[in-house]
Amino acid sequence: MAEWYEQSFGEDYLLVYKHRDFQGAYQEVQKMISWLKLPQGSSVLDLCCGMGRHSLALADAGYKVTGVDLSGVLLREAHASDPEGRVSWHQGDMREVPLEESFDAVMNLFTSFGYFEEDTEQLKVLKEIYRLLKPGGRFIIDYLNPAYVAAHLVPHSSREDEGNQIEEHRVIEDGFVKKQIAIRSIGLADEEPARVYHERVKLYPYEKFRALLEEAGLSVEQVHGSYNEDKYIENASPRMIFVGVRA
């Protein structure tokens, strides 16, 4: 049976998450550049690049960018947004990235982490980031803040989009935040079964996440609570954005 992340990042993902825009990505990339302090021309790997919003913003800012993602559908969209071929796109699993080159920086953004059941599998991802960084290379890992998620979880939401009814159910159980997405074509609800997808992210509190990073040889220098550059506060920050260096 296929894992959830092998099924959920397909055509319907483009519908559910189409609100993620390029303008927001450009603003976030400007913050990342200021945190990393990388000169233009530096090589950057966007690990789990999705549709390539941040990869393309980095390329526009003068960086040599490589994007890796498991989803062929999302990579197709990335290619379509990059007709000049400014970014080098590759398909692969973040636990075993099909690249041998080293980078000045590696980014893993918008909670593209914690997808697996076991800590050992998450650690493989962090060790790949270490392997792919040049000595002294820098990283950004942008992850959710578990305390904030628990306090602000919306158990159910529903909306209509492009002739579809989208229902999302969310729950925290067994150390994971889980989402079920059901999509039905309006007018055909009685004739067609819903298209159902699952998402699951393991919840790592701050200290546990730092311990995993250190075990992988990644040294944390800053932790931001959002892209507004505010410091991370456990009970208030929406995110944990780790910025650091290969030890």
Task: Please give the structure tokens belonging to residue 177.
Answer: 């935040």
Which pLDDT does position 84 carry in this prediction?
97
Task: Please give the structure tokens belonging to residue 129.
Answer: 């980031």
Q: Which CATH number fits domain 4-145+204-246: 3.40.50.150, 1.10.238.10, 1.10.260.40, 3.20.20.10?
A: 3.40.50.150
* pLDDT value at 157 more than 80: yes
Q: 161 - beta bridge partners?
A: 164
Which pLDDT does position 134 carry in this prediction?
98
| pLDDT tier for residue 22 given thresholds of 50, 70 and 90 | confident
| pLDDT tier for residue 52 given thresholds of 50, 70 and 90 | very high
For residue 26, what is the DSSP state? H
Q: Where are the domains of the chain?
A: 4-145+204-246, 148-201
Q: What is the pLDDT of residues 2-13, one digit of tens each?
A: 899 999 999 999
Q: How many CB atoms lie within 10 A of CB 41?
A: 9
* pLDDT value at 188 more than 70: no
DSSP reduced 3-state for 158:
strand
Residue % of the chain over a pLDDT of 70: 98
Which pLDDT does position 189 carry in this prediction?
57
Phi then psi for residue 14, to 5 deg, are -65, -35
pTM over 0.75: yes
Q: What is the pLDDT of residues 191-227, one digit of tens each?
A: 788 999 999 999 999 999 999 999 999 999 999 999 9
The distance from CA 72 to its chain's CA centroid, rounded to whole angstroms, is: 16
Q: What is the pLDDT of residues 121-145, one digit of tens each?
A: 999 999 999 999 999 999 999 999 9
